[in-house]
């Protein structure tokens, strides 16, 4: 394969999220590399770092990319992309592509750092409705991050830790600020941390389920975003919705993957025209 | 028996008298006025700047009709304010109105000038919140703020008429009555029962009498006929304008269309009709010359929900700058404001008044009435007529009526497979990024449906 042909086959999807920037590189619809980098205050730098990391893995340079689609809240911060797409469309695309062993995906729930969203798909996998959380941080990853600090548990360990709980505490507040003080008073009352945590997972799951109900979700629910790695939330959400939920292997890359898939479609569409 | 009849007649007469009483606010507990008058110039400047910013975007639209230039100029206060001031100096009365229930025909016939003062300006909200409850919709707060800073056109009004539509409007009247004369116009809660119609008809009759008293001009048959005809002509032109927007080759942006409509809130009736007619002629030419403003495949959107009012066009800017076009709306501040003409069967005073009463009540799709069916009919009809790809439900935060109607509208549109997006927002700029994501995603969803793409 000569280099021009090779280039035309390789595309990238870049998901500039509020916390993490993720990159997926595809060659003829096959993931060949992915990487991420914290977005922090500089989305441009994050994109550069994540993209370099991913390209290095497969010994390529940016010039080898035939098409780049950017998505996520910082989607317009990337100057060199060929097309901008919203995370809704990208997410649906990624989820549809990965599918689920539990049956056809009809709902996608994404729990990101700063927002959560629910996408409804029809039998053909097309987006027919979607909803995103309102301004506040309740029901997003940020909420859990704050709580992890308050409880002094590592963010990555939250899920497993909560499984130890036998007696989840009922937490009333959904606002991040109020919930934090409620958690502090529970700690003072010597409640077990795993029980508090399980209660918090329940709060988030309830918030997301409320959001999801607005679009009348159907099975199978495809659960992704960084938050989907938390097994505690997945279980609470299953309970709350009463629907089968599937979490893909690397839930935080689904949107970047979707963007890359769209990139490869657009590449071919352009090549044809 | 005979006695009873007499008594009954007496009671009935009494009832009639009570019914025909002019409604107003007695000044039993007058309050001290709060005024932010000193800030007037500052606010005026910001108001004009915001408008300019909208215009900058709108003027960049390719193939924009040249006849829009008139509308671009006239909202800038200066010219029209001067005209209205002169009108007042000559003894004319200016009547501020809210909503779209106040019969303009009668106002014109009395030689007065109606101006709709529902406002869409963010900056006057904060000062209004010193007095009005924080948790009411921005439209009401913004409008009231105009009075506090004495900004045109509110500052030019001799009195204000407030229909008792939503709760916010109902209560605004009493508060405003400390600032200037306020006439409440009492609406029934249903439209089509005979009691409602009769009640509303009486209300209109009282209104006529009051106008005569206020202006010192009798509303004669010929004056009223003239006013009805003038407004009718305007509506005819507006119908043509609305029809043009049905063209599958988009000829005018939703922003321009709304600006044209909203200039009619305060502009000279004859001149507006003339200018809009010219605009329609140009647009008709443009159809022949195939001078569309956006590509023909641009997703065609219908807006419904709480009114959008100049200069708060942030939402429209987002939609149209990101590849959609608003081809129709059901706003009381848009199409609904001018759509329905008074239809006269018989040119006699009583019938004319009846026709006026009907025109302002029956076609209304305002959510302040107990049923939303007419609004849904209207939506579904427009989806067909305007070849709509998706409906956007604009809901001003804290507007309960539109919030409550959402559920039913959503179920019906879902059933008809009409894509629907709800945006809850206010007049501030802080949620622009969130709105962008939602609108863009909605447009992508429509495009993928239309072109099997993504
Ligand atoms: S929707 Fe009804 S109550 Fe609200 S401003 Fe319009 S006419 Fe008035
Ligand atoms: S937007 Fe809603 S709350 Fe505000 S004036 Fe109109 S109907 Fe009333």
CATH, residue B385:
3.40.50.11900
Neighbouring-strand partners of residue B423: B394
What pLDDT, on a 0 to 100 scale, did the predictor assign at position A115? 84
CA–CA separation, B102 and B185 (whole Å): 8
State mean pLDDT over B333-337. Answer: 96
Is residue B446 pLDDT above 80, yes or no? yes
What pLDDT, on a 0 to 100 scale, did the predictor assign at position B244? 97
In CATH, A3-86+253-272 is 3.30.420.40: yes
Is residue B373 exposed (0-12), middle (13-18) or buried (19+ Cβ within 10 Å)? Answer: exposed
CA–CA separation, B348 and B221 (whole Å): 7
The DSSP H or E segment spanning A150 is helix A141-151
Helix (H, G, I), strand (E, B), or coil: what is residue B89?
A: helix
The residue among A135 and A143 whose pLDDT is bigger is A143
CA–CA separation, A37 and A20 (whole Å): 6
What pLDDT, on a 0 to 100 scale, did the predictor assign at position B79? 96
Tell me which residue range forms the domain holding B107: 2-221
- Cα dihedral sign for B422, B428, B431, B436? positive
What pLDDT, on a 0 to 100 scale, did the predictor assign at position A269? 84
In CATH, A100-247 is 3.30.420.40: yes
Joined together, the tokens standing for residue A102 give 């539990």
Task: Extract the runs of DSSP E, i.e. beta strands, from B291-432.
Answer: 300-305, 325-329, 390-396, 420-425
Q: Which residues of A touch B438 (CB under 8 A)?
A: 132
> pLDDT by residue (tens digit) across B250-271?
999 999 999 999 999 999 999 9
B368 lines ligand 1 (CB under 6 A): yes
Domain check: are B76 and B35 in the same one?
yes
The answer to the question of residue B402 being in a domain is yes
Helix axes A176-188, A193-213, angle to 10 degrees: 160
Is residue B15 pLDDT above 60, yes or no? no
In Å, how far from its chain's centre is CA B410?
A: 24
Choose, out of B406, B413, B444, the residue to mutate when testing the contact with A (most A CBs < 10 Å).
Answer: B444
CA–CA separation, A99 and A251 (whole Å): 12
What pLDDT, on a 0 to 100 scale, did the predictor assign at position A1? 43
CA–CA separation, A138 and A115 (whole Å): 9
Give ipTM to 2 decimals: 0.90
The answer to the question of residue B397 being in a domain is yes
Domain end point (choices B221, B248, B275): B221
Distance from CA of A159 to the nearest CA of B (A): 29
CATH code, domain with B71: 3.40.50.11890
Q: Any residues with CB less than 8 A from the CB of A47 and at least 6 apart, and which?
A: A14, A16, A21, A23, A37, A70, A74, A77, A78
Is residue B452 pLDDT above 80, yes or no? no
Is residue B66 exposed (0-12), middle (13-18) or buried (19+ Cβ within 10 Å)? Answer: exposed
Q: Which residues of B touch A129 (CB under 8 A)?
A: 414, 419-420
φ, ψ dihedrals at B426, nearest 5°: -140, -155
Domain check: are B158 and B251 in the same one?
no
Q: Which residues of A108-147 are buried (b: 16+ CB within 10 A; e: fewer)?
A: bbbbbbebbbbbbbeeeeebbbbbbbeeebbbbbbbbbbb
Mean residue pLDDT of chain B comes to 94
Whether omega before B198 lies within 30 degrees of 0, making that bond cis, reads no
What pLDDT, on a 0 to 100 scale, did the predictor assign at position A6? 56
How far, CA to CA in Å, does B325 sit from each of A198, B231, B262, B371, B432? 47, 29, 18, 30, 18
A129 touching B (Cβ < 8 Å): yes
B100 lines ligand 1 (CB under 6 A): yes
Query: How far does the centroid of ligand 1 lie from the alpha carbon of residue B137, in Å?
Result: 11
Domain check: are B50 and B190 in the same one?
yes
The answer to the question of residue B229 being in a domain is no
Q: Which atom of ligand 2 is nearest to the CA of B368?
A: 7
Q: How many residues does chain B have?
A: 454
DSSP conformation class of B324: -
Are A85 and B454 in contact (CB < 8 Å)? yes
The residue among B97 and B17 whose pLDDT is bigger is B97
CA–CA separation, B64 and B254 (whole Å): 12
Judge contact between A110 and A133, C-beta under 8 A: no
Is residue A2 pLDDT above 80, yes or no? no
The residue among B26 and B321 whose pLDDT is bigger is B321
Mean residue pLDDT of chain A comes to 90
Q: Which residues of A touch B413 (CB under 8 A)?
A: none
Joined together, the tokens standing for residue B366 give 């305002």
State the CB neighbour count (10 A cutoff) for residue A86.
26
Delimit the CATH 3.30.420.40 region(s) of chain A. 3-86+253-272, 100-247
Percent of chain A with pLDDT over 70: 95
Joined together, the tokens standing for residue B435 give 């709105």
> pLDDT by residue (tens digit) across B399-408?
999 999 999 9
Closest CA to A147 of A189, A191, A177, A110: A177
Total number of domains constituting chain B? 2
Domain check: are B154 and B281 in the same one?
no
The answer to the question of residue B233 being in a domain is no
In Å, how far from its chain's centre is CA A166?
A: 29
Is residue B204 pLDDT above 80, yes or no? yes
What pLDDT, on a 0 to 100 scale, did the predictor assign at position A178? 83
Domain check: are B260 and B179 in the same one?
no
> pLDDT by residue (tens digit) across A55-107?
999 999 999 999 999 999 899 988 899 999 999 999 999 999 999 999 999 99
Domain check: are B48 and B122 in the same one?
yes
Are A89 and B454 in contact (CB < 8 Å)? yes
Q: Which atom of ligand 1 is nearest to the CA of B98?
A: 8
Strand B390-396's sheet: what is its strand order? B325-329, B300-305, B390-396, B420-425
Task: Extract the runs of DSSP E, i.e. beta strands, from B250-357.
Answer: 300-305, 325-329
What pLDDT, on a 0 to 100 scale, did the predictor assign at position B32? 81
What pLDDT, on a 0 to 100 scale, did the predictor assign at position B19? 52
> pLDDT by residue (tens digit) across A201-243?
998 899 899 999 999 999 999 999 999 999 999 999 999 999 9
Is residue A28 pLDDT above 90, yes or no? no
Joined together, the tokens standing for residue B323 give 């590849």
Judge contact between B242 and B258, C-beta under 8 A: no
Is residue A238 exposed (0-12), middle (13-18) or buried (19+ Cβ within 10 Å)? Answer: middle
Domain check: are B170 and B244 in the same one?
no
CA–CA separation, B305 and B297 (whole Å): 25
Percent of chain B with pLDDT over 70: 95
Judge contact between A120 and A104, C-beta under 8 A: no
Q: Any residues with CB less than 8 A from the CB of B421 and at least 6 apart, and which?
A: B390, B391, B392, B393, B438, B439, B442
What pLDDT, on a 0 to 100 scale, did the predictor assign at position B69? 98
What pLDDT, on a 0 to 100 scale, did the predictor assign at position A176? 79
Neighbouring-strand partners of residue B163: B185
What pLDDT, on a 0 to 100 scale, did the predictor assign at position B1? 54
Are B448 and A135 in contact (CB < 8 Å)? no
First to last CA, chain A: 23
Domain check: are B188 and B295 in the same one?
no
What pLDDT, on a 0 to 100 scale, did the predictor assign at position B362? 96
Domain end point (choices B221, B249, B279): B221
Domain check: are B146 and B179 in the same one?
yes
CA–CA separation, B366 and A217 (whole Å): 31
Are A132 and B434 in contact (CB < 8 Å)? yes
Domain check: are B130 and B271 in the same one?
no
Domain check: are B307 and B215 in the same one?
no
The residue among B65 and A29 whose pLDDT is bigger is B65
Q: Which atom of ligand 1 is nearest to the CA of B118?
A: 5
Domain check: are B217 and B244 in the same one?
no
Q: Which residues of B touch A132 (CB under 8 A)?
A: 434, 437-438
A263 touching B (Cβ < 8 Å): no
pTM summary value: 0.92
CA–CA separation, B258 and B275 (whole Å): 15
What pLDDT, on a 0 to 100 scale, did the predictor assign at position B172? 95
> pLDDT by residue (tens digit) across B109-125?
999 999 999 999 999 99
């Amino acid at each position: 394969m000569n280099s021009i042909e090779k280039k035309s086959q390789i595309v990238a999807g870049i998901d500039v999220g509020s916390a993490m920037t993720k990159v997926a590189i595809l060659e003829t619809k096959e993931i060949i590399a992915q990487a991420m980098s914290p977005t922090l205050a500089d989305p441009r730098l994050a994109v550069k770092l994540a993209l370099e990391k991913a390209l290095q893995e497969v010994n390529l340079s940016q010039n080898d990319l035939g098409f780049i689609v950017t998505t996520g809240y910082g989607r317009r911060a990337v100057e060199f992309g060929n097309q901008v797409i919203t995370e809704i469309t990208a997410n649906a695309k990624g989820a549809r592509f990965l599918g689920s062993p539990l049956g056809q995906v009809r709902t996608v729930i994404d729990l990101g750092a700063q927002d959560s969203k629910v996408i409804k798909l029809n039998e053909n996998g097309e987006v027919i409705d979607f909803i995103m959380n309102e301004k506040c941080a309740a029901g997003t990853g940020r909420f859990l991050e704050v709580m992890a600090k308050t409880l002094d548990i590592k963010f990555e360990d939250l899920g497993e830790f909560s499984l130890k709980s036998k007696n989840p505490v009922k937490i009333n507040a959904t606002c991040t600020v109020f919930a934090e003080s409620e958690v502090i008073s529970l700690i003072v009352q010597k409640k077990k941390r795993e029980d508090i945590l399980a209660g918090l997972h329940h709060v988030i799951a309830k918030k997301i389920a409320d959001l999801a109900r607005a679009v009348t979700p159907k099975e199978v629910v495809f659960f992704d975003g960084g938050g989907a790695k938390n097994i505690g939330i997945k279980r609470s959400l299953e309970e709350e919705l009463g629907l089968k939920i599937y979490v893909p292997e690397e839930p935080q890359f689904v949107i970047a993957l979707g963007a890359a898939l769209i990139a490869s479609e657009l590449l071919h569409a352009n090549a044809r025209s | 028996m005979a006695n009873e009849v007499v008594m009954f007649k007496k009671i009935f007469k009494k009832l009639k008298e009570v019914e025909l009483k002019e409604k107003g606010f007695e000044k039993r507990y007058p309050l001290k006025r709060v005024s932010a008058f000193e800030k007037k110039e500052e606010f005026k400047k910001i108001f004009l700047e915001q408008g300019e910013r909208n215009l900058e975007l709108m003027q960049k639209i390719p193939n924009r009709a040249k006849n829009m230039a008139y509308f671009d100029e006239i909202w800038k206060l200066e010219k029209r304010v001067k005209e209205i001031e002169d009108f007042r100096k000559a003894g004319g009365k200016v009547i501020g109105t809210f909503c779209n229930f106040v019969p303009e025909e009668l106002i014109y016939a009395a030689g007065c000038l109606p101006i709709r003062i529902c406002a869409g300006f963010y900056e006057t909200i904060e000062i209004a919140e010193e007095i009005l409850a924080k948790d009411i919709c921005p439209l009401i707060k913004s409008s009231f703020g105009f009075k506090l800073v004495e900004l045109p056109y509110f500052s030019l009004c001799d009195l204000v008429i407030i229909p008792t539509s939503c709760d916010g409007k109902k209560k605004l009247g009493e508060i405003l009555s400390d600032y200037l004369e306020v006439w409440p116009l009492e609406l029934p809660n249903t439209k089509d029962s005979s009691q409602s119609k009769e009640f509303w008809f009486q209300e209109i009759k009282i209104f006529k009498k009051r106008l005569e008293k206020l202006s010192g001009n009798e509303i004669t048959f010929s004056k009223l006929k003239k006013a009805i005809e003038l407004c009718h002509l305007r509506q005819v032109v507006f119908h043509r304008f609305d029809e043009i927007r049905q063209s599958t080759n988009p000829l005018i942006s939703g922003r321009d269309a709304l600006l044209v409509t909203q200039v009619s809130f305060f502009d000279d009736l004859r001149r507006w009709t003339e200018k809009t007619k010219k605009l329609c002629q140009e647009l008709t030419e443009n159809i022949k010359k195939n001078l569309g403003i956006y590509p023909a495949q641009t997703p065609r959107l219908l807006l419904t929900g709480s009114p959008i009012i100049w200069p708060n066009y942030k939402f429209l800017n987002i939609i149209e700058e990101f590849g959609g076009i608003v081809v129709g709306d059901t706003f009381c501040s848009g199409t609904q404001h001018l759509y329905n003409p008074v239809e006269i069967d018989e040119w006699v005073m009583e019938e004319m008044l009846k026709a006026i009463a009907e025109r302002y009540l029956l076609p209304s799709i305002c959510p302040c009435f107990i049923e939303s069916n007419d609004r849904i009919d209207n939506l579904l009809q427009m989806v067909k007529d305007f070849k709509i790809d998706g409906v956007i439900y604009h809901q001003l935060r804290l507007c309960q009526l539109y919030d409550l109607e959402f559920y039913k509208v959503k179920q019906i549109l879902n059933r008809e497979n009409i894509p629907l997006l709800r945006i809850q927002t206010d007049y501030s700029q802080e949620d622009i990024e969130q709105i962008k994501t939602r609108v863009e995603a909605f447009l992508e969803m429509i495009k993928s449906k239309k072109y099997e793409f993504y």
